[in-house]
Amino acid sequence: MLLEKTQKGMRKLEQNLYLAQPETLLVISSHGDILPDAVTLNANPEYVTNFEEFGDLVTKTRWKADFMLIDRIREDFKIKHLPLALMSSEALDYGTSVPLWYLSGHLPQPKIAPLLTSSGLDLKAHYQIGQELKDELLSSTKRIAIIASADLSHRAGPQSPAGYSPRGEELDAKIIELIEKNQLKSIIDIDAAWIDEAKACSMNVLAVMAGIMDYQVHQTEIISYEKPFGVGYLVAGMRIV
């Protein structure tokens, strides 16, 4: 079965998330209506996830926004003149919808805060954004989990629609190594030409995660990795201890 490892990995990650019982899910995605010069928070009061673009006309879930967290982030970024834009859309992109469907099935209706990365800001800017987000997350009285959603290299195998490149495989291996060694911050030093060659849409998402997790004592688990379509799919978990 295609993506069997990834589906099993997501089920394991869901179990871990259930044990943590988060009240809010901050979902970071690299898909949707992203802007070139700012990350984007979706400040709609409610959201809907569906999979009509994949032919599923039945599955639909409604979510409520953690508007208190969204407003605190908005105010903090405004005071510090950081590149944040607000949008209001009920529909969530598939990069947000898919992990929510897999990971929240047994959670008691968590609220969510959807964040989209930027197409123009570099990795260091996304890392700094993650550091600012960390301050807001740590000061919250709620239990908050972060879902970082993006593909790794789109050129990691011969089946890739973008064409195979050994640099794609090498980049995926490098990312896995950095995550395993709890050295995610080093992702911001990866050469931009290498990232472009590998066609990895995950880098900005991972840079935000690096900023959030930097200086946090945490345990990391690589749960699964596969590339049946020539695109790297990684499932991993990080837990602050």
For residue 232, the one-letter residue type is G
CATH code of the domain containing 24: 3.40.830.10
Calculate the CA 145 to chain-centre distance.
Answer: 11
What is the pLDDT, as a whole number, of residue 233? Answer: 96
Q: What is the DSSP letter of 188?
A: G
What is the pLDDT, as a whole number, of residue 170? Answer: 97
DSSP 103-115: H-TTSS--EEEEE
Calculate the CA 26 to chain-centre distance.
Answer: 9
Q: Model confidence over 20-74: pLDDT tens digits?
A: 999 999 999 999 889 999 999 999 999 999 888 778 778 889 999 999 999 999 9
Output the tens digit of pLDDT for each of the chain's 241 residues. 678 999 999 999 999 999 999 999 999 999 988 999 999 999 999 999 988 877 877 888 999 999 999 999 999 999 999 999 999 999 999 999 999 999 998 998 899 999 999 999 999 999 999 999 999 999 999 999 999 999 999 999 999 989 999 999 999 999 999 999 999 999 999 999 999 999 998 999 999 999 999 988 999 999 999 999 999 999 999 999 8
Which residue segment(s) compose the domain that 47 sits in?
4-240
The domain tally of the chain equals 1
